[in-house]
Structure 1
Amino acid sequence: MLSRLTRPAALSAVAVCALAALTACGDDTPEEDTAAGFDAVEISGPVGELPEVDWKAGLEPGETQSEVLEEGDGAALEDGDEVLVNLAISDDFTQEIALETYGEERTAVALTVGEEQPEPQQVIDLVTALVAEQVEAGTTLGTRIALTVDAEEEFGELALNLAQIGIGNEDGFVVVADLDSVALEGPKGARKAAPAWAPTVEVEDGIPTAIDSSGVEKPDVKAKEVRTAVLLEGEGPAIEKGDLAVVNYLGQTWGGEKPFDGSYTKKREPLKVNIDGAQGPGTSVIEGWSDALVGVPVGSRIIVEIPPAKGYGKAGSGEDIKKDDILYFVIDVLAAA
């Protein structure tokens, strides 16, 4: 796992101290076999899938270059839109994929159009900031962008931190970025009848406000499986393991008088969730959430019943969730990548 990076100045200090241990891989790149920018590399494969990167030569030192490899046919982005982006990074020394977000180990990243990226906390944040500079209002979803980067030229002493993903501070590398999606404002889909086991979801102006389980017999607290029902079935792509999902939610225990948590209020933003334990910018959640969300199409509203074995176990959580509490959640799936 990438170590947490605090402030850029601190990153530089750590990197300089570790200089002897983090010798630049780029020192061993044959000098006679280099090329500038995209003359050094060929990128292929369909948007939305892990790209194929074929290095023809080492990357000559110089400024970062960018190129739109394929223009998407999705909606045009606007300033303030938060976009989920899949990335792949390959360096010219190993000529392998050093980091990618298309699989199950690491989620997509998120960037906001027209806004400066937050101060970097991990190495991947440095790369995300580079991509963000290329995404502006009017860029369409489904677009694939690539950048060729000279680590030392672009990052200076911070380039030493790229060793955490196997890239030397004098290496060249390429970044491929697929603009995947932005979050919906709310669920959108065909209404489905709730099953007999499900409690009643109280709704005001289309927004869930409570989960009434007064007419439901308490489920088995020793159960080992999560129960999920679709209340509104969306038409977007289904959530997969390793995704970053963006959701609104409301949680309440069986027999609880009021919700213990939720994100539907004006004071809260939708929650980003790392699915199935993947590394990413979202929140790591209880096992029952991942069990419930995998396979659910974007745009859906679901209701979930989670026993302690798939929730907080015998320890419970704070004052609101006891060891034998059954948890109910209403979840609106707004985006996933």
Structure 2
Amino acid sequence: MRSPSFRLLGLAVAPLIFLSACGSDDGGEGTDDASQSTGADDAAATSIAPNGTAEDVTLTEADVEGTTVPALELGKTPLSVGETSVQELEPGEGEGATAEQDVELKYLAVNGTTGEEILSTFTTDETVSMSLANPNLLPGFLNTLEGTKPGQTMIIAMSPEDGFGAQGNPQLGIGPADTVVFYVEVVGATTPLTQAEGEEVEPKEGLPTVEADGTSPATITIPEGEEPPTELVVQPLIKGEGAEIQSGQSVRMQYTGVQWSDGSQFDTSLQEGREAFETVIGAGQVIPGWDEGLVGQTVGSRVLLVIPPEMAYGELQEEDPAATAAPQQHELAGETLVFVVDILAAN
């Protein structure tokens, strides 16, 4: 049985600006029809007629605490585009990125309506990685970044339809009618792993045994007569050669989870119709056993996690006969959970 709540704990993916809104697993419960109608009216009332393209934007420079970083100057404010447009500044060299690859880049984002900067990686000289195979990537990126080459730079004026749509992105101050303007420097593209790759590791005795091919759900067998461990167990089965996972990174994984009590599978990402699972590790977006157990592991690794209840969904609470309602608790409360996780990428 798949656990919807386990998936929900991992929905926050960085960087958020690259991802469109995803529907939650609760089927939209609690949505108020009246508020939806009001939101649509507000979007219509604040819509801006298209009045420009990416060619109306100029790349300039700004001084941030003594460091010169790229900046964008809009030819008009507000700037609104009906269709996403691109102004190429430098063509780049080498092979173009394919739809199966991850593109590494630096970027600056500006709200076309207000002219205000939204986010920039140039102040910290960091790069971010985007999966062109991720269906939740903003359409404006899916349609423009395939084929880009290392060293290529461009200005993208992204229409609301190809960006955040009618919902906008309130967290980033982006309204439903806002064009978002990006300056992008492409660093390169890599083909992500599809399963663990590296040196096999002999596990300690007394742990669950694992049969895994990386393409179908792992078979995890609980040892007979063994009591579940009371502390978190982190056992690499394959040691990958990639970088170590750092707290706060977005990590892409394939996984299978079973219950220690009866060995039954409750969730797996390796089933038809599902993508590799991607979440921020070490930031409270998943259960504590994942946050603690995966930080420090390396990309390419296959890791066995045995997670006691207090680091999963908590101890099972006894019902109070005097209470008017049963205690609210997760369906996996009280369970020791066993996961096999293939770490495919981190950024």
Tell me, yes or no, whether TM beats 0.5.
yes
Shift of 1:202: 3.3
Whole-Å separation in 2 of the counterparts to 1:215 and 1:150: 59
Contact map agreement 1:199 1:215 (CA 8 A) in 2: no
Q: What letter matches 2:253 in structure 1?
A: V
For 2:196 and 2:167, how far apart are their aligned partners in 1? 44
Matched, 1:329 2:326: no
The match for 2:42 is: 17
Compared CA separation, residues 161 and 268, structure 1 to 2 (3 A): closer
Supply the AA of the counterpart residue of 1:54: A
Inter-partner Cα distance in structure 2 for 1:335 and 1:146: 26
Q: How many residues align?
A: 285
TM superposition shift of 1:95: 4.9
Q: 1:233 aligns with which of 225, 228, 239?
A: 239
Q: Is 1:190 equivalent to 2:187 in the alignment? A: no
TM-score by length of 1: 0.63
* Corresponding residue number in structure 1 for 2:181: 173
State the one-letter code of the partner of 2:88.
E
5+ residue gaps, structure 1: 25-34, 45-50, 119-124, 279-283
Shift in Å, 1:258: 3.5
**Residue 143 of structure 2 corresponds to residue 90 of structure 1:** no
Instruction: Give the CA deviation at 1:294.
Output: 2.1
1:247 corresponding residue in structure 2 = 253
Distance of aligned partners of 1:242 and 1:88 in 2 relative to their CA distance in 1, 3 Å threshold: farther
- % same residue: 25
Letter in structure 1 aligned against 2:245: I
Structure 1 range deviating more: 177-186 or 188-197: 177-186
Alignment of 1:1-337 (within 5 A): 14=39, 16-17=41-42, 36-37=55-56, 39-42=58-61, 52-55=69-72, 57-60=73-76, 61=79, 64-67=85-88, 71=92, 77-79=97-99, 81=100, 83=102, 88-91=108-111, 95-98=116-119, 110-112=131-133, 128-136=138-146, 138-139=147-148, 145-149=153-157, 161=168, 165-167=172-174, 173-176=181-184, 181-196=190-205, 198-203=207-212, 208-214=218-224, 216-220=226-230, 223=231, 226-265=232-271, 268-277=274-283, 284-315=285-316, 317-318=330-331, 321-323=332-334, 325-337=335-347
- Cα deviation for residue 150 of structure 1 reads 7.2
1:250 aligned counterpart, secondary structure = strand
Q: Compute the RMSD of aligned alpha carbons.
A: 4.8
Tell me the secondary structure at the aligned position of residue 173 of structure 1.
strand
Deviation at 1:84, TM superposition (A): 6.4
DSSP 3-state at the match of 1:242: coil
Mind listing any 5+ residue stretches in structure 2 that lack a counterpart?
Answer: 1-11, 24-34, 49-53, 317-328
Task: Give the secondary structure class of the aligned counterpart of 2:291.
Answer: helix
Look up the equivalent residue of 1:147 and give its one-letter code: I
